[in-house]
A and B are shown apart, each in its own frame.
Chain A
């Protein structure tokens, strides 16, 4: 069902998948995404075919909380409707969570971020530092080092390992 193409083998930030079955929301539909990977990893990045479209996908581990797209994640279950897919730039701290479309925002295209208001500091979005409109979509700027430090970093041993 799913063809996984690992995007970034060498990154110190991206780590790879634990479980063998994840769910994510795309355009308000549920899609079962079966990713087979080794154990001991924390998130996945790959390519998923869905409704004739090829989507790039990044999934964080089910137990890790914030950016979770797993059938077993309590936060996820509470979050419906979650942002459909996530968008990330590779140059920290310009990682962005794009709330209704998946894309990779190039650093040079990054929007001007508005400060995250104190009233928005709900636990759920505690790693967000800014908000912006990017290509008519709401985008959140995520404090990626903080996110990684809390939810774990990939080890060099696991980075680059393919399922």
Chain B
């Protein structure tokens, strides 16, 4: 049975995501954040880190929740753009991610509560009583505004 490790990202009280261990670059605590009028709700601005400004995302808002998280914890994820350049983006999480072990026998169906999962999550597993989508940061962060807005509306 195949066993691998992943980071578990709590994005709300009852929803968690996972990313492959190599996608996590760092965890920022109370980073300086920058906001701008007119930005889409799911991309709430920028977060500062040593290499510059990173776009900051709050998936809860993309999933229809209405209140942004306080940006106390931001995970910085690696991803590749369409030109295969290595880039970084920030994702708000409720508290510190945890490192977990996932095995093949935990695999389950993606949740069907939102079209987002089929866009950004190639797989999914069950942990305790939760269904946890495994997201591909490259799929998520390469979505453009129109695509994200359509998902947000849906």
Contacts and interface: CB of A to CB of B under 8 A. Distances in A.
A81 interface: yes
A83 B36 contact: yes
Contacts of B144: 118-119, 121
Given A114-B52, A131-B46, A119 B36 contact: no
Interface in B54-70: 54-55, 57
Given A119-B43, A120-B43, A120-B145, A114 B37 contact: no
A97 to B, nearest CB: 10
Given A118-B143, A121-B145, A138 B46 contact: yes
B39 A120 contact: yes
Binding site secondary structure of chain B: mixed
A117 B89 contact: yes
B94 interface: no
Interface in B16-51: 34-40, 42-43, 46, 48
B142 interface: yes
A132 B52 CA distance: 7
A108 interface: no
Interface string A107-135: 00000101001111110110000011100
Contact of A138 (B34, B43, B142, B143): B34
Contact of A120 (B37, B52, B55, B142): B55
Contact of A119 (B34, B52, B53, B143): B143
A119 B145 contact: yes
A83 B42 CA distance: 20
B148 interface: yes
A73 to B, nearest CB: 14
Contacts of B54: 114
Contacts of A81: 37
Given A80-B37, A120-B43, A138-B34, 5 more contacts: A114-B52, A117-B55, A117-B141, A138-B35, A138-B46
